[in-house]
Structure formats: structure tokens, C-alpha cells
């Protein structure tokens, strides 16, 4: 019975996605459609979380026993395959998909931004409100507070609270990532083809900054683990070689979204900081 509920949610999500959202908002932009699809994959999991988090029943997937999370993801992926093939075939989108994976794709598609989208973004003024000094500062601080604060919140609150905050946390990460990308006109995620030599230099510099930030964060995390291990040694009479670590589902999520969030947003965040530091605001 529980399996049928999840399958019904999957079918409803797929109907909405393929009959309304993708044709209306993505059109022939398969990159955008892919992002939307990744988001849609987690909708049944989110609904299943609300329904089955507490009771945690066993789901049967052709003899395989799974929990609600893996069952809803697997059910979505399996049911989606024929729907996806039919949709792409019916709309003649194969050339666009092939282009993403072709050998020339690094020149055509950057980190989730196509040359066409970047060129469009470079000439639009619709999002200029996000390109002021104040807005850039707000976006940098906001995304960092969301990522770090959300991680602390998810790690420290009880599971029952974490399950409600998790979708909000994920949504906030994506909203800040979207706004950050708009604020730097997609330059940080752009393919080479779409940029002139100055913008290319700017993009490459932002990656250098992003790498340095990431290196600093990784170094701090590694140092903290080392300090924690030494501290554990001082607080016990035994000579510890293995360290017991207990980690909850909420903490795993917190860690995953911390890394994923910074992976997505760091290049744009670094570019926004670089522009602020060197007074290069549009």
C-alpha cells in the first residue's frame, strides 16, 4: 500500500513536470530541464519524508527491501526513463542532449550555463538590482549564513525538526545560488566561447579564489578533526587508535548540503567578492 502511495506521488510529479513545467519553462533548454529534473526527483522523496519519516516502514522494490528515501528515488528514476525518452523523441531534443556530451561541449557549456544563456545574460539589465555593491554583499553574506547556519541547525536540532527544515534549507541554497549567478551574469559558470578575453580572465580568477577558499575551508575542517582527535586522547585513559563517531541522518544531510552548496555557489560567490574588492561592480 505504501509503495502505491509513493508511485502515485511519482506519477503526479512526472505529469506536472513533463506536461506543464518542462514544456512551459525549459522549452528547448535541456540544461535548464536537467536542473529542474534533479529538483523534481526529490519531490516524491520530500513527500515520502513527511509521510514515513516517523513510522519508517519497509518498501518492497521487486524483492529488494528499501526505506522510504531510496524507494522514492528509485521509483522516480525507473518510472521516468520511458517518459523521458518519449518526451525527448516527441520534441526532437536529441541533438541538444548530444551537444551537451559531445567533445566540444566544454566550449559550448560551462558549469550549467550554455553559451547562449551567458550571451543573453551579458546583455540584459533586468537583474541589475542584484549587481549593486549592497546587493552583492547581501548575497555573499546571505549564502554563507544559509550554508553555515543551516548546517549547524540541521546538525543540532532533533530529527523531527530537521525533516521540516531540510526542504527549506535546500530551497534557500538554490535560491541564493540562482541569485548569485544572476548577479555575476553567469560569468563564473560560463563556457569559454561565451566570454571575451577580459571576462575569461575574470572567470579564471574567480576559480582561483574559489579554490583558495575551498582549500582554506578543507584545511580548517581537517585541522578541527585532528584537534578533536587529540582532545579525545587527553580525555581518556586509554590509548585511542579508533575514534567512535556517531552521526545522525540530519547531520549527514547537513554535511552533504554544505559541500554541495559550496560546490555550486563558490565560483559565483568568489567572483562577486572579487568584483567588490576591486570595485568592478556593473
| Contact set with another protein (CB under 8 A) | 122, 195-199, 212, 216, 277-278, 280, 282
Q: Give dist(CA 172, CA 189) in Å, integer.
A: 19
- Is 201 or 233 the residue whose CB approaches another protein more closely? 201
Instruction: For the CB of residue 188, give the shortest distance to another protein in the complex, in Å.
Output: 15
Is the Cα torsion angle 267, 270, 272, 274 positive or negative in sign?
Answer: negative
Instruction: For the CB of residue 45, give the shortest distance to another protein in the complex, in Å.
Output: 38
Residue with cell 508511485: 7
- Is 180 or 194 the residue whose CB approaches another protein more closely? 194
DSSP 82-142: HHHHHHHHHHT-HHHHHHHHSTTHHHHB-SS-BHHHHHHHHH--TTGGGGSHHHHHHHHHH
Instruction: For the CB of residue 220, give the shortest distance to another protein in the complex, in Å.
Output: 9
- Is 73 or 199 the residue whose CB approaches another protein more closely? 199
Closest CA to 30 of 90, 107, 88, 105: 88
Is the Cα torsion angle 218, 219, 223, 224 positive or negative in sign?
Answer: negative
- Is 36 or 122 the residue whose CB approaches another protein more closely? 122
DSSP 163-177: HHHHHHHHHHHHHHH
Instruction: For the CB of residue 223, give the shortest distance to another protein in the complex, in Å.
Output: 9
Instruction: For the CB of residue 105, give the shortest distance to another protein in the complex, in Å.
Output: 22
Q: Give dist(CA 26, CA 28) in Å, integer.
A: 6
- Is 169 or 182 the residue whose CB approaches another protein more closely? 182
- Is 16 or 280 the residue whose CB approaches another protein more closely? 280
Strand ranges in 22-113 using DSSP code E only, listed in sequence order: 59-61, 64-66
Instruction: For the CB of residue 135, give the shortest distance to another protein in the complex, in Å.
Output: 18
Amino acid at each position: 500500500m505504501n509503495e502505491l502511495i509513493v508511485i502515485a506521488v511519482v506519477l503526479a510529479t512526472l505529469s506536472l513536470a513533463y506536461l506543464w513545467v518542462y514544456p512551459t519553462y525549459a522549452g528547448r533548454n535541456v540544461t535548464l530541464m536537467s536542473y529542474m529534473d534533479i529538483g523534481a526527483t526529490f519531490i516524491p522523496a520530500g513527500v515520502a519524508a513527511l509521510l514515513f519519516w516517523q513510522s519508517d516502514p519497509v518498501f518492497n522494490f521487486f524483492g529488494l527491501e528499501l526505506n522510504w528515501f531510496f524507494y522514492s528515488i528509485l521509483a522516480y528514476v525507473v518510472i521516468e526513463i520511458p517518459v523521458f525518452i518519449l518526451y525527448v523523441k516527441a520534441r526532437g531534443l536529441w541533438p541538444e542532449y548530444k551537444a551537451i556530451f559531445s567533445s566540444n561541449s566544454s566550449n559550448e557549456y560551462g558549469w550549467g550555463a550554455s553559451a547562449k544563456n551567458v550571451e543573453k545574460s551579458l546583455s540584459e539589465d533586468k537583474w541589475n538590482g542584484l549587481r549593486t555593491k549592497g546587493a552583492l554583499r547581501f548575497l555573499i553574506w546571505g549564502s554563507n549564513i544559509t550554508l553555515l547556519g543551516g548546517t549547524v541547525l540541521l546538525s543540532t536540532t532533533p530529527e523531527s525538526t530537521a525533516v521540516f527544515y531540510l526542504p527549506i534549507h535546500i530551497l534557500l541554497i538554490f535560491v541564493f545560488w540562482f541569485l548569485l549567478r544572476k548577479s555575476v551574469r553567469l560569468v563564473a559558470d560560463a563556457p569559454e566561447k561565451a566570454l571575451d578575453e577580459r571576462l575569461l580572465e575574470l572567470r579564471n580568477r574567480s576559480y582561483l579564489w574559489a579554490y583558495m577558499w575551498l582549500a582554506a575551508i578543507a584545511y580548517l575542517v581537517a585541522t578541527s578533526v585532528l584537534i578533536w582527535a587529540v582532545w579525545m586522547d587527553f580525555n581518556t585513559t586509554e590509548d585511542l587508535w579508533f575514534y567512535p563517531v556517531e552521526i545522525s541522518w540530519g547531520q549527514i544531510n547537513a554535511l552533504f548540503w554544505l559541500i554541495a552548496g559550496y560546490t555550486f555557489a563558490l565560483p559565483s560567490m568568489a567572483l562577486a567578492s572579487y568584483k567588490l574588492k576591486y570595485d568592478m561592480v556593473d
